[in-house]
Amino acid sequence: MLIEWQIASVEDWHADAIIFFVFEKADAPLAGFRRYLEGKGSWLSGSAALKDFQAKPNEMAVCYAPSEEKAIPRVILVGLGPADRFESDKLKNAAAHALRKCRELNVARPAIAMTAFEGLPLESPAALRESLFGAVAGLHKFNELKTRNSEAESAPETLFLLSESEPDNPMAEAVNIAESESGGVMLARDLTVSPSNRATPAFLAETARQLAQKYSFKIEVIDLDSAVSMGMGAFAAVARGSREPAFIIIIEHAPPGTENDPPLVFIGKGITFDSGGISLKSPDKLDAMKQDMAGAASVLGAFEAIGRIGLKRRVVGILPCTENMPDGKAYKPGDVLKSFSGQTIEVISTDAEGRVVLCDAIAYAAAKYSPAAIIDIATLTGACIIALGNQVAAVLGNNEELMDSVKQAGWDLGEKFWPLPLWDFYFEALKSEVADMKNVGDRSAGAIIGGIFLKQFVPREVAWVHLDIAGTAWTDKDSGATPRGATGFGVRTLFEIARRWPESQAWGIIE
């Protein structure tokens, strides 16, 4: 779907439908809609659909203009619910539902007027960004593998942005950002929903190569033999159990002039199928374990967005990608592994493989790049779902400022994070009699224990945050902007952190 500005007086606007947002039980319409009602849309006052419309969240009314009104024959009203409960998510989802209604009605050229945002408790550029993201991402479907009963729907061809004057820089930038991040989220969703016999480590490596070619990123793909020779014994132990070739994928965006800057490093867990290894998982919903690479997918999605917008900052992505399988060469409970950092790990459960591959990637990132900060993202623990549910991810780390930045960026974009502590006494659960640490403790504080394990591989001088997205990477409910299935959660937050990243100084460590 193309997004195009249409600059003209209200009387000269033209589209197949125009979309307006309405608060429930409001004393008066939002200012921009009110002016439309008083002018070009004066015919609406006699519409029965308008009179029946209550503006509950995502409720819609399609009002048809008289036959003589040919420039804009429809007005689509979308409810935002009560004004005192408004969040940006409401606008994003309302826009998604409106565009789906356009698809249902075969409306080829819908429009959103910039005046539609007047009166919202959100700055107009942010409102435009959220509504465009919802409009685009809400239409997304993964149909690549369907050969039957998959008739193409007539998605809108062009979404017009109606304005009486040329957009200023913040508004124009909002469009660019929304298109960039929606592209990244859709890539992450497609990768996460793809079956594991398609989205193999090699497939992720090829996807990264395509991104590198498209956006002139640097790329390095480290195979298993090379990982072993480099001392990545933890990653290698997990990878040996699979017959699918394993890779550590490194992708780097370093625009001219930034090549020597300390980079922001994103690390994504890329377990393309998790059987649990020798510690075999229950067969219940085992098919869902194709989703265990959602962290890697989010990093690739963030790089898609970074490449599209041409960010002027150095960012590195590291994706340790492998399956976790119960082969004869698979690592076993009781094994002791030597990690890239030199620390040894006693394996208690092979189903805690995510932290085992991530620890080598984190230590490698710290040693090679002297990064400004490291953010890892992973579907790490079922315990995170127990603690926070399916709509909130956990944020843990060694730097309060960076954690707050992640939490705020996510909140602004509808990706909610909640901090969990990483106090030193939690390491007691990982003490081993035969190695430097165990890879799991008992069942208590599982999400925190996963984080405290990873913390052992982060040098004290490096700002680091761990994002556990186990509950948020997939949804069984359709919210509008996020259809049922893979969510692409984390892409927008990583992208926003890269955009907001301080240019003059790195985050300071808070002991």
Catalytic residues: 281, 355
- Measured in degrees and rounded to the nearest 5, phi and psi for residue 166 equal -60, 135
**Selection from 134, 125, 250, 131 nearest residue 185 by Cα:** 134
Residue 53 near residue 44, CB atoms below 8 Å: no
Task: Give the position of tokens 């229950």.
Answer: 282
| Closest by CA position to 20, among listed 52, 46, 44 | 44
Task: Map residue 429 onto helix, strand or coil.
Answer: helix
Run of H or E residues at 270: strand 270-274
- DSSP-derived 3-state class of residue 115: helix
Report which of 4, 22, 24 is spatially closest to residue 14, judged by C-alpha positions.
4
Dig out the tokens for 94 from the structure.
């309302």
Q: CB pairs under 8 A, 24+ apart, for 115-120?
A: 115/31, 115/32, 115/33, 115/35, 115/36, 115/162, 116/19, 116/20, 116/21, 116/30, 116/32, 116/33, 117/21, 117/32, 118/30, 118/31, 118/32, 119/30, 119/31, 119/32, 120/21, 120/30, 120/86, 120/91
Of 392, 394, 403, 456, the residue nearest 429 (C-alpha): 456
Place of tokens 């932290």: 355
CA distance linking residue 339 with residue 347, whole number of Å:
12
With the CA atoms of 230, 235, 238 and 239 taken in that order, what torsion angle do they form, in degrees rounded to the nearest 10? -60
Contact of 43 with 129, CB cutoff 8 Å: no
Q: Map residue 412 onto helix, strand or coil.
A: helix
Tokens 């309302």 appear where? 94
Q: Is 75 left (phi over 0), alpha (psi -120 to 50) or beta?
A: beta
Q: Where would I find the beta strands (DSSP E) of 299-384?
A: 315-324, 336-338, 344-346, 373-378
Residues with Cβ within 8 Å of 489's Cβ and at least 6 positions away in sequence, in order, are 294, 298, 393, 415, 469, 472, 473
- The residue type found at 80 is L
